[in-house]
């Protein structure tokens, strides 16, 4: 049986890693066998899924160990979630995107079968969708792509580029699951997210309001589901997990051309009425 696979993309600082880890936790709560793969040079995606320590990155181990084995790069986290971190080269040396490509090659060489899991969650940096960071899409590892956005111009710019990549790799079987509105810095641009979804032919999977408990959970190395399981944010993540599992065959997105995107950003925002 082929694992259901979801890649969470987004601009750095969009909350994609926080959401990806929480999603893995939500899937595990459903009794699913989960593989969580961090595709970010920082190699910290799995931190909330571990009680202590951190996962040694595949690239880090490959550069320092002659005889690499699966047990050195696969770590069992909370709820039985298996965690892997791609990592990357030292700052200023090499290509981080190539590190992701090499990670998939090494996992295959080590005999790690993605099919042995029910769900695979990829946490992927989306500031630049170069060949390396597009590997989960280009090589068909991820069936569905969800994009975290906050509504700011740079967040939507990155999202629009990610949508271009999804459209390009649609022929590989990659599908856009939709957008995740994550308003972790406030809700000043909240109205832009549903408008952007409509303009690009996709939908908003879930909207997650600002919640100070998320930061507290991260400080305690926990996902929001484990820190405040009955809170509004945890409920939103569970809805997101449910919607992702119910996905079928969404149509390809329609990313905006440069001029259309600029016009979109220039459109006046709706002002929220305040009670008197």
How far apart are alpha carbons 84 and 61 in whole angstroms?
12
Strands 75-76 and 82-85: antiparallel
- Rounded to the nearest 5 degrees, what angle is found at the Cα of 214, between the Cα atoms of 188 and 176? 65
79: its two tokens: 């709820």
At residue 133, the 3 state secondary structure works out as coil
Spell out the residues 6+ positions from residue 206 whose beta carbon is closer than 8 angstroms to its own: 180, 181, 236, 237, 239, 240, 243
121: its two tokens: 């969650």
Report which DSSP code applies to 186.
B
C-alpha pair distances (Å), 209 with each of 1, 42, 265: 36, 26, 21
Alpha helices, DSSP H, located in 30-71? 58-64
How far apart are alpha carbons 136 and 165 in whole angstroms?
11
Catalogue the active-site residues. 11, 16, 42, 127
- Considering only CA atoms, which of 193, 62, 35 is closest in space to residue 117? 35
């Amino acid at each position: 049986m082929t694992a259901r696979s979801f890649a969470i993309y987004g601009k750095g600082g969009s909350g994609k890693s926080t959401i990806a880890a929480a999603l893995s936790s939500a899937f595990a709560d459903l009794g699913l066998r989960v593989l969580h793969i961090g595709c970010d040079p920082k190699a910290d995606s799995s931190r909330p899924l571990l009680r202590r320590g951190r996962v040694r990155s595949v690239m880090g181990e490959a550069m320092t160990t002659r005889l690499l084995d699966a047990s050195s790069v696969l770590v069992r986290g909370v709820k039985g979630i298996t965690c892997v971190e791609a990592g990357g080269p030292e700052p200023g040396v090499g290509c981080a995107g190539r590190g992701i490509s090499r990670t998939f090659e090494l996992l295959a060489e080590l005999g790690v079968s993605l099919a042995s899991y029910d769900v695979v969650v990829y946490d992927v940096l989306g500031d630049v969708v170069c060949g390396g960071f597009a590997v989960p899409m280009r090589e068909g590892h991820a069936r569905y792509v969800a994009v975290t956005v906050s509504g700011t111009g740079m967040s939507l710019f990155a999202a629009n580029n990610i949508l271009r990549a999804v459209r390009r790799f649609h022929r590989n079987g990659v599908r856009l699951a939709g957008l995740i509105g994550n308003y972790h810095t406030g809700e000043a641009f909240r109205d832009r997210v549903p408008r952007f979804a409509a303009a690009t032919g996709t939908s908003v999977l879930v909207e997650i309001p600002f919640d100070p408990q998320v930061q507290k959970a991260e400080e305690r190395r926990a996902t929001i589901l484990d820190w405040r399981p009955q809170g509004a944010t945890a409920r939103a993540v569970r809805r997101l997990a449910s919607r992702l599992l119910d996905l079928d065959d969404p149509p390809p997105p329609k990313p905006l051309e440069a001029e259309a995107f600029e016009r979109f950003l220039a459109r006046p925002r709706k002002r929220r009425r305040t009670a008197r």
